[in-house]
Chains A and B, each alone.
Chain A
Amino acid sequence: MDIFLQQLINSLSVASVTILIGMGITLIFGLAGIVNFAHGEFLMVGGMVTWLLVMAGVNFFIAMFGAMAAVGVLGYVAERTLFRFTLNRPMNGFIMSIGLSVILQNVVIKALNEVQKSIPDPIAKVWVIGGVDIIAMRAIVVAITVVVVAITYFGITRSRYGVALRASVSDQDTAALMGIPVRRYVTGVFIYGSVLAGLGGALMIALFPITPFTGSVVIIRGFAVSLIGGLGNVGGAVVGGLVLGLVDALSAQYGYPQWTDAYSLVVMIVILILRPQGLLGGTLGPRAT
């Protein structure tokens, strides 16, 4: 049981990164109906930027913000040059995003190389609490994610922008009649989701090495998490992430290790068959719960 507790705690940190990605995907889809398959590559770019900065001597936590800024800019550029033209034809946007993901992968491979990149553990401490080894950096990842989730949740439910966002999602025209610049909100949400991906990438590389192909793996889990929770539902992304985290811990401890990726996907399929709208119900727009 001790060991399983250790597995759960380990999984929480990976689940945190997946939650960040899932939240970004669900927000962007919920508001703009944009399915951005390159979102995983956004995370990967965030990780690579972090690597470059840390290798150049920058403190990890500063590099983390650097990554968030870089991917935020990337998201802004992608939205302005690609996705804004496909808002009325989401399928085109989806196909373009697949192309974008391939382009980003190859740019990174050309600029750096295919070999995996890693940084030294920024904290390099292990706390031993009640027989369980808690790697400090992993705990920090979870803490940071909790803060970000709280900010996002309260932002959507309480802040003026959150209310305007929900209105835009609910009825774009009427929101415009309130004076809400809906297009700007689309851009804003896209940037926010991208920043979350950048943060996810920075946190991931602080835990273990990444490669230019890490994005392809992450995007599947990100969508799985959003779908499990209900596409468009921010709280759902959190629940979905926790569910996958639990599945990961169980499969790592008791399953066949070669099948670790398969288990979470099987769970997603089962949940979607039994409850197609997701556990908390998908919406046409970002909801808090």
Chain B
Amino acid sequence: MTLLQVEHLGTAYGPVTVNRDVSLTVGQNEIVTILGPNGAGKSTLLRAISGLLKPRSGSIRFDDRDVTNTPADRAVGLGIIMVPEGRKIFADMTVRENLRLGAYARKDRDAVEEDVKLMESYFEILAQKRGAKGGELSGGQQQMLAIARGLMARPRILLLDEPSLGLSPKLVKDLRAVIMDVKKTFASAVLLVEQNAGLALTVAERGYLLHNGRIVASGPISELRDDRLMRDLYLGNTPQGH
């Protein structure tokens, strides 16, 4: 069943058009990726889906409900959770406070406390650093915290904006494991946006290629990997099996 359906979406900042005629879907519990070079309009697309940006044209449907113009804070209540580019941890607040904030929109306060403990056991580093301020964590630790924070909202779909940016290969490996768990253990769909195809190609089931704001290729990951456009755009970057 299609969870997220984007049709002919157009986005713009003022007079500058970013995305044109973008159509994509994400099924329940699917891991889908959107790839593309810098400036392709990937983040803008995610901002539109998450509700931070109002699209110029087209539609977004979630769970067969029109969410085209739904603002971000209300989209959270529907289960659309985004982990933004650059992690955006609240630096002045503790790890615990960050986690709790992720669950802001939830009404079941007792279960929230349970989930905090759950996150701390799943991400050991969060248990260790629970009293530390967000700004004191390393890049990799912040990424884990950002994802944990997103999971605290019990997402139906988790939008990840360039999570591997600035992470070492080891951390990228950990990240891969976490994303698989988001699907398996936390039962959420994942829409993964990446500039670096390395992580995405090993973890996604389907993918789209975005270039100059438009979708130029799509399909199951195995097909996408061998696609000629992919090779052209990611010259030398496509991994040869993992």
Contacts and interface: CB of A to CB of B under 8 A. Distances in A.
Note whether A and B form a binding pair: yes
Interface of A: 160, 163-164, 166-167, 170-171, 173-182, 287
Contacts of B74: 179, 181
A167 B101 contact: yes
A164 B93 CA distance: 11
A266 B3 CA distance: 64
Interface of B: 50-52, 71-74, 76-77, 81-82, 84, 88, 90-93, 97, 100-102, 104-105, 149, 153
5 contacts: A166-B90, A167-B90, A167-B101, A170-B91, A179-B74
A178 B105 CA distance: 7
A177 B72 contact: yes
A167 B89 CA distance: 10
A180 B91 contact: no
Nearest to B146: A174
A252 B217 CA distance: 78
Contact of B105 (A163, A170, A173, A179): A179
B105 A176 contact: no
Nearest to A164: B104
A181 B104 CA distance: 10
A182 B104 CA distance: 12
Contact of A166 (B50, B77, B92, B149): B92
Contacts of A167: 90, 93, 101
A166 B52 CA distance: 19
B100 A163 contact: yes
A180 to B, nearest CB: 6
A176 B149 CA distance: 13
Nearest to B83: A177
A135 B53 CA distance: 57
Given A178-B73, A179-B77, A181-B74, 5 more contacts: A163-B97, A166-B90, A175-B101, A178-B102, A180-B101
